[in-house]
């Protein structure tokens, strides 16, 4: 069988060059398929690249949202911590103020009690002095009374003795 007998060969009428139709078609189909494949692959690569870029943007946006949420959480935690610290400080101040007020009240009560004790001591000292003065006055009065009584008794004894002496003199005068 010769090349001319083969039905899949064609001869160019201008240059008489013989072509294998199958090979020629196959090359054209292959070339077209390669071009389509390359085109599809390029398109798919572009779509993949676009998808990757989109995913990267979404990932970046997600990261930014996560960071924003984390920042909000941190701010809330900071605010809560500050509020808790402020509340604890306020409660501590209130407790300290209450304790200070109790100490002031206790000091005032003690000062008042001391003042009352001093007043009572002063009154007792005044009373003691008064009693001492009364005792001294009473002793003085007793001494005066005793002195008067002694003087009265002495005067009475003296008068009696004078009377007795006069009586004895009278008796002597009468007896004589």
Q: Give mean pLDDT, residues 144-168.
A: 89
Average pLDDT in the 12-31 region? 84
Helix, strand or coil for residue 71? helix
d(CA 112, CA 114): 5
pLDDT at residue 176, rounded to an integer = 67
The pLDDT tens digits for 114-147 are 999 999 999 999 999 999 999 999 999 999 998 9
Indicate the DSSP class of residue 10.
E
pTM of the shown model: 0.39
Mean pLDDT in residue range 69-91: 95
Tokens 């064609």 locate to 10
Give yes or no for residue 79 having a pLDDT over 80. Answer: yes
Chain-centroid distance of CA 43 in Å reads 67
Q: What is the rounded CA–CA span in Å between residue 48 and residue 57?
A: 14
């Amino acid at each position: 069988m010769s090349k001319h007998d083969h039905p899949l060969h064609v001869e160019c009428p201008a240059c008489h060059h013989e072509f294998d139709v199958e090979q020629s078609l196959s090359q054209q189909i292959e070339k077209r398929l390669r071009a389509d494949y390359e085109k599809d692959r390029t398109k798919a690569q572009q779509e993949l690249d676009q998808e990757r870029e989109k995913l990267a943007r979404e990932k970046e946006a997600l990261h930014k949202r996560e960071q924003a949420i984390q920042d909000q959480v941190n701010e809330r935690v900071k605010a809560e911590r500050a509020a808790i610290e402020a509340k604890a400080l306020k409660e501590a101040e209130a407790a300290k103020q209450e304790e200070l007020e109790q100490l002031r009240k206790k000091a005032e009560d003690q000062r008042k009690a001391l003042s009352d004790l001093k007043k009572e001591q002063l009154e007792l000292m005044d009373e003691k002095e008064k009693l001492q003065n009364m005792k001294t006055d009473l002793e003085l009065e007793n001494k005066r009374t005793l002195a008067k009584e002694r003087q009265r008794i002495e005067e009475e004894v003296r008068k009696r003795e004078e009377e007795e002496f006069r009586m004895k003199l009278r008796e002597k005068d009468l007896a004589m």
